[in-house]
Amino acid sequence: MRSRTMKSIRIFITCSCVLCFVLLLAFSNNFTCIRQPLDLDPPNLATTGSKNFQKPRDKLLGGLLDAEFDESSCLSRYQSSLYRKPSPYKPSRYLISKLRSYETLHKRCGPGTEAYKRSVKLLDQEELASSSDELCQYIVWVPLAGLGNRILSLVSVFLYALLTDRVMLVDQRNDISDLFCEPFPGTSWLLPLDFPLTNQLDRFHWHSPRSYGNMLKHHVINYSTTERFPSYFYLHLVYNYGAYDQMFFCEGDQSLIKKVPWLIVKSDNYFIPFLWLSFQTRLIKLFPQKETIFHHLARYLINPTNQVWGLVNRFYNAYLSRADERLGIQVRVFHRAKSLKLVMDQIVSCTQGEKLLPEAEAAQEESQVMMNVSKTPKLKAVLVTSLNPDYSNNLKSLYWEGLSSTGDVIGVYQPSQEMHQLRNNKLHNQKALAEMYLLSLTDNIVTSAWSTFGYVAQGLGGLKPWILYKPVNYTTPDPPCGRAMSMEPCFHSPPPFNVCGTETWKRIVPFVKPCEDRVSGVKLFDSPEDL
C-alpha cells in the first residue's frame, strides 16, 4: 500500500515538473517576443492563427507598390502583406498605370528639380499672363486637426493630384517625416522649408485674399477669366467653409482652377465623394469598385516609418499573432454622456449580440460550461484602442471573472493609455498610427460613430466595421451597433446637394448615400443593390 502511495506521489511530482517547465517555456517565449528587435524578414505572421492563410505573399499589393524602393528604408511598405490575409479587392490596371505615371511626373517635377525651381519663381508674380503646358503644376497639403482627419484629407488631396496631373507636396513642419515613409521612389514629397509661402501657410483661411472662395465672392476672378490669373489659390476645404469655397467641387470651376500652377489646400475632411461631381468618368475607370478608393490609396500612400512599424511588429508578435481570431474594438466618446457603464453596456451588447465575442458565464456556472464544451477552445485576442484604459480593463475583468460560454479563451489587450489627445506630440501620433495599423490587422472590427481614427483602420484593413451608434438621451442605443454597408470613410461636412446644380448631383446619387453613423455626411457605396 505504501509503495503504491509513494509511486503516485512520484508520478504527481514528475507531471508537476513537466507542467512547470512548459509554462516557463511559454512565458519565456512571450517575453522574448516582446523584447525582440524588428526583423528585416519576419515570418509570415498571417499563417500563425487557425485560419492558416497559405496564399502566396503579394508584397506589391496587386501592383499598387513599386519595387524600386530599398526595402530596409521602409519596412512597412513590403512587410504589411505578412501581417494580414490577401485583400479580396484588386486595384484596376488603370489605377496601377496612373500611379506609375504619377511617380514619373513626381521625379521630373519634385523638389530640387529644374522644373520645380522654375515653378517656384512664378510665386513672385501677382498675376500670370498665360499658362504654359511645359510648367509643372503643384498642390501643397497643409495638415489640420487630428491624425485621423489628416490621413483622410491627405488621401483626398493625393487623389485630386492624380486626377489633375499635379504634383502633391506636403508641409513637413510638423511630424510628417516621423510618421510616414516617402511614398514616391527616387524623389521626395516634402515641401522644402525655403518654399516662398512657408511663413504664410498657417495664416491661410477662408477670408484670405488668395482664397479661391473669397476671390469668387468679390469678383476678383470669374469663369470667363482667360488672359490673367493668379500664381496660386488657397483652397479652404474645412468643415466651416462658405458657399463660395464649396464651388471648388464643381466641374466648371475646375476649368478655371487648372490654369493656376500652385494650389495650397487645408482640409480636415475626406472629400473624395464630392470629387465625383467633376471627375466621374475617370474615377469609374480608376475604381470600378467604388468603395475601394481609400483602401487602395491608403495602402499605397500611408506607410509607417520604421520606428512606428517597430511598435506594430512588437505588439502584434507579443499579443495577436498566436490568436485563432482577432477582434478590434476602437472606442472614442464624443457625446456628453461619458458614463463608463453606458459605453461598456453598449460594447458588450454589440459584441455579444453580433456573436463577435461569446457571453461570459457566472463563476458558479463554470463547471457546467466546461462539461458542455467538447471542442478544443480557441484563443481570441481582443485589441482595444482608446484614450481611456477603463474599457479594456472592464472587458478583461468580464472574461477573467467568468468563463466564456463557448469555452474559448479571451485575451484583452490595449497598446496605450494616453487619456488625452495630443495633436502635435510626435510620440503620441506615432502610437496612434501604430494602433490604426494594428486595428487594420484584425479579422473583425468594431468602431465608434463619427471617428476618423476608425475610418482609417477599417479602410487599411479592407473591413466593413460594426459601428457603435451615438447614444441618444444618455441611454444605450437599440440596436447598440450596426454593420457598415461600405468600408469607405464618411465625408462629414459635405456641401449642399445642389452646390453644382441639381442635375449634376443626380448623376452621382446612385452611389453616394448618407453615412450609417452620420446622416448629414455622405459616403461611397458600390451599387444600389447594397443599400
The yes-or-no verdict on residue 314 having pLDDT over 80 is yes
Average of per-residue pLDDT across 75-89 = 92
Distance CA 364, CA 373 (A): 16
- The architecture of the domain spanning 306-530 is 3-Layer(aba) Sandwich (3.40)
DSSP H helices, 382-474, are: 390-401, 426-440, 452-461
196-200, 225-229, 518-522, 526-530, range with the lowest pLDDT = 526-530
Residue 11: pLDDT above 80? no
CA distance 207 to 245: 10
How many other CB atoms are there within 10 angstroms of residue 416's CB atom? 17
The C-alpha atoms of residue 45 and residue 84 are separated, in whole angstroms, by 8
The per-residue pLDDT for range 446-455, each reduced to its tens digit, is 999 999 999 9
Q: Residue 167: which of 94, 106, 216, 221 has the closest Cα?
A: 106
- Comparing 413 with 527, the larger pLDDT belongs to 413
Q: Which of 446, 482, 449, 444 is nearest to 462 (CA)?
A: 444
131 phi-psi bin (left φ>0, alpha ψ -120 to 50, beta other): beta
131-155 tens-digit pLDDT: 555 789 999 999 999 999 999 999 9
CB 109 within 8 A of CB 116: yes
Distance separating alpha carbons of residues 380 and 323, to the nearest angstrom: 6
What mean pLDDT, rounded, does the chain reach?
85
Which of 30-34, 230-234, 461-465, 501-505 is predicted with the least confidence, judged by mean pLDDT?
30-34
173 Cβ neighbours under 8 A, 6+ residues apart? 193, 198, 201
Sign of CA dihedral 108, 276, 63, 47: positive
Buried-exposed string 468-492: b where 16+ CB fall within 10 A, e elsewhere: bbebeeeebbeebbbebbbbbbbbb
Q: What is the longest distance spanned by two Cα atoms in the chain?
A: 111
- Kindly state the helix (H) or strand (E) to which residue 167 belongs, with its residue range: strand 167-170
Helix (H) or strand (E) holding 372: helix 366-372
114-152: b or e for each residue (b if 16 or more CB lie within 10 Å)?
A: ebbeebbebeeeeebeeeeeeebbbbbbbbbbbbbbbbb
- Hey, what's the cell of 528? 444600389
Average pLDDT over residues 175-193: 96
Report angle CA 484, 473, 340 to the nearest 5 degrees: 75
Looking at the predicted structure, is the pLDDT value of residue 18 above 80?
Answer: no
How far does Cα 129 stand from its chain's mean position? 42
What is the distance between the alpha carbons of residues 441 and 53, in angstroms, rounded to a whole number? Answer: 13
Choice among 110-114, 240-244, 424-428 with the minimum mean pLDDT: 424-428
Instruction: Please tell me the least confidently modeled range out of 24-33, 282-291, 311-320.
Output: 24-33
Residue ranges per structural domain of the chain? 93-301, 306-530
Q: Which band of pLDDT confidence, cut at 50, 70 and 90, is reported for residue 407?
A: confident
pLDDT the model gives residue 438: 98
Q: What is the pLDDT of residue 337?
A: 52
Mean pLDDT value of segment 417-436: 80
Q: Specify which of 24-38, 292-306, 360-374, 471-485 reaches the highest per-range mean pLDDT.
A: 292-306
Please give the distance of CA 393 from its chain centroid, rounded to a whole number.
25
* pLDDT of 106 higher than 50: yes
Residue 201 scores a pLDDT above 90: yes
pLDDT at 104 over 50: yes
- At residue 351, the pLDDT reads 97
Mean pLDDT over 308-324 rounds to 96
Cell of 203: 495664416
What pLDDT does residue 26 have? 39
| DSSP state at residue 319 | I
pLDDT of res. 299: 97
171 within 8 A of 201, measured Cβ to Cβ: yes
* pTM, full prediction: 0.87
The rounded distance, in Å, linking the Cα atoms of 366 and 370 is: 6
The predicted structure's pLDDT at residue 377: 83
Per-residue pLDDT averaged across 55-71, rounded?
A: 86
Neighbours of 85 (CB within 10 A): 16
| Bridge partners for 304 per DSSP | 180
Q: Whole-angstrom Cα distance, residue 155 to residue 161?
A: 10
Kindly state the average pLDDT of the residues 372-399. 87
Look at residue 402 and tell me whether its pLDDT is greater than 80.
Answer: no
Tell how strand 466-468 and strand 481-483 pair up. antiparallel
